[in-house]
A and B are shown apart, each in its own frame.
Chain A
Amino acid sequence: MFDQSKTINQKNAHYGLKSGKILTLDNVGVNFKNFNALSTIQMEIGQGEILFITGASGAGKTTLLRVLSGQLQPTKGRVQLLRPNAHMALVFQDLRLIENYSCEMNLMMAYDNSIYKNKNEFVYEMVEFANILKIRNRLNLKIKDANGGLKQKIAILRALLSRPDVIFLDEPTSSLDQENALKIFELLNFLNVKKGLTVVWASHDRDLIRSFSGRIIHLDGGRLIHAGHACFI
């Protein structure tokens, strides 16, 4: 366990702003009717960065991810996407898998023939990822028969298979044990290093956060109360 954390710490040398910003939020606020879910958020995401968003339940993590990924128009302020044709994929907190489909069919939702040469290339990549997460032999299972952990892995793989420039993950490991959570973190970390994938990860998994020395944003009651490194939390 301790060893795994250590490897991550070593890899953290790659984190941080690499080549400029990809997204900036300028004084962003979100109201649901009279309820103030986010207020005066000022932040930026660097290209190739891995960023954690933490906060208690109801702090506004999901809302912030939805604003960042362009799902939700903020009531106030400005969201600037500095690479307009960047593809952003969101792993939803409620996963949004199609229950009647098999795991594989759900993954196929990400098969975009404009970015894959052919279906074989897609399947090859799918199998590769499935092997890494050790779910290869469960791909034929229907989602309604799958357990929570498998569903989360499928939701994450679906987003990864869309070959995004930025991936937003909303509590992606809530049904996974520490070992599997780290496995996913390592996969994302690998893609970050190899492909320059920008990762924005919302979580309140304290162990995972502690083992991470990159930038962390902490939300409380819709306000950004800390942006910095894990050791200050």
Chain B
Amino acid sequence: MFYLNLFMRAIREHPLKGLSFIFLCGLFILVLLAQNIVNDFLQSKIANKNQYSYFYVLMSSNENHEDVVRKLRDLEEVKQIETLNQEVIAKEVKKILSELDVNVLSPVLDMDYVGFKIIFALKTSIRSQQLVREYVERLVDKKNLILGDIKDNISDRKASEDFLFRKSHFVYPFILLSVISLWLIFFISVKRTLAKIAYLVEQYQRRRQVLLKTLLIGVGSWLVFFIIVFSFIPQVNHLNIIGAALLVLITFIGGFKKDMWES
């Protein structure tokens, strides 16, 4: 209790710095504990658009496309159907045609098309997806229909997204490193304040190793406090706590020279 009091006295001597340090202790623990959550979040953020498999359907506007869409919507494999605007259609026609790698008669290109993006529900098997695609072929007259291939989120990821996806693995370490650096800066600063007080306590009370004890008990209590506060977080990464404990211990070992009052 004596050492905890002493620690809080140092915090109170420079309240802004002290409270920032305690806040950073909390942030440090939060970031450590929430590693899995942060990573999941980041990856879902980037992969979100491509979460589902899909294929494009282009058909002549002469076909009863509303009926086709309604029938497809009734299928449980289909999660969502998006109507494509003309620009996308024009783009997709070219793309799909080139992908189809067939010689398409020019009349096809001149047709007035309506387009849809058929998005599959999550975890629909490839076989079911193919069945849905074949079903569309049966519903629409073949010469009025252009079907895109079924694409999944992995194969369709654009180069830039792929890049981001790989980069997302570095986002967490970057956040962690920033928080640790900031924490260390404030730790050293608080330690400096504390060193002076601890020195005086050693001078005028019969106590030894006051700085080390105060830091261990003071900082330790706050870290443990935040671990308890944030213990509700699911998927806690316990390995991080061990890593953090080692880091904290290492920073403690790097001591100050005894007399911080020397100019």
**Contacts from B to A (Cβ < 8 Å):** 2, 13, 196-197, 200-201, 203-207, 259, 261, 263
CB within 8 Å for A110 and B259 given contacts A98-B13, A98-B197: no
Cα-based distance from A92 to B203 in the complex (angstroms): 11
* A158 interface neighbour in B2, B204, B207, B259, Cβ under 8 Å: B204
| Nearest neighbor of B261 in chain A, beta-carbon distance | A96
**A92, A94, A110: the one within 8 Å of B205 (CB):** A110
Interface footprint category on A? 20 to 34
B205 touches A112 (CB 8 A): yes
Interface residues of A in 94-148 (CB under 8 A from B): 94, 96, 98, 100-101, 109-115
> Which of chain A's residues have a CB closer than 8 A to the CB of B197?
98, 109
Given contacts A94-B261, A98-B13, contact A89 B203 (CB under 8 A): yes
Given the complex of chains A and B, what is the CA–CA distance between A111 and B206 in angstroms? 10
- A115's nearest neighbour on chain B, judged by CB, is B206
Does A87 lie at the interface of the complex (its beta carbon under 8 Å from any beta carbon of B)?
yes
Given the complex, which residues of A lie within 8 Å of B203, measured CB to CB? 89-90, 162
Q: Given A96-B200, A98-B197, A98-B200, is A112 in contact with B206 using a C-beta cutoff of 8 Å?
A: yes
Complex Cα gap A115–B207 (Å): 11
Asked if residues A159 and B200 are in contact (CB atoms below 8 Å), the reply is no
Judged by DSSP, the binding face of B is: helix
A158: min CB distance to chain B, Å? 6
Judge whether A100 and B13 touch: CB under 8 Å.
Answer: yes
Does A71 reach chain B (CB closer than 8 Å)?
Answer: yes
**Cβ–Cβ contact A109 & B200, under 8 A:** yes
List of B residues within 8 angstroms of A159 by Cβ: 204
Q: Check B206–A71 contact: CB distance below 8 A.
A: no
What distance in Å separates the Cβ of B115 from its nearest Cβ neighbour in chain A?
Answer: 72
Task: Report the minimal beta-carbon distance from A174 to chain B, rounded to whole angstroms.
Answer: 17
CB neighbours of A111 from chain B (8 A): 205
Please encode chain A, from 34 to 73, with 1 for each CB lying within 8 Å of some chain B CB and 0 for all others.
0000000000000000000000000000000000000100
A212 to chain B, nearest CB (A): 26
Contact with B along A153-174 (1 / 0, CB 8 A): 0000011011000000000000
- CB-based contact B204/A109 at 8 Å: yes
Nearest CB of chain B from residue A98's CB, rounded to whole Å: 7
Could you jot down 29 A-B contacts, CB within 8 Å? A71-B259, A89-B204, A90-B203, A92-B261, A94-B263, A96-B261, A98-B13, A98-B196, A98-B197, A98-B200, A100-B13, A101-B13, A109-B197, A109-B200, A109-B201, A109-B205, A110-B205, A111-B205, A112-B204, A112-B205, A112-B206, A112-B207, A113-B2, A114-B205, A114-B206, A115-B206, A158-B204, A161-B204, A162-B205
Extra pairs beyond A98-B196, A101-B13, A114-B206 (7, CB < 8 Å): A89-B203, A94-B261, A96-B200, A98-B197, A98-B200, A110-B204, A162-B204
Determine the chain B residues whose CB is within 8 A of the CB of A96 once the complex forms.
200, 261
CA distance A94 to B259 in the complex (A): 13
Complex CA distance for A159 and B200, rounded to whole angstroms? 10
Nearest 7 pairs of A and B residues by beta carbon: A112-B205, A162-B204, A110-B204, A109-B200, A96-B261, A100-B13, A109-B204
Question: Chain A: which residue is nearest B197 at the CB level?
Answer: A98
Q: Which residues of B contact A110 (CB under 8 A)?
A: 204-205
How many angstroms from the CA of A91 to the CA of B200 in the assembled complex? Answer: 11
- Chain A residues whose C-beta falls within 8 Å of the C-beta of B204 in the assembled complex: 89, 109-110, 112, 158-159, 161-162
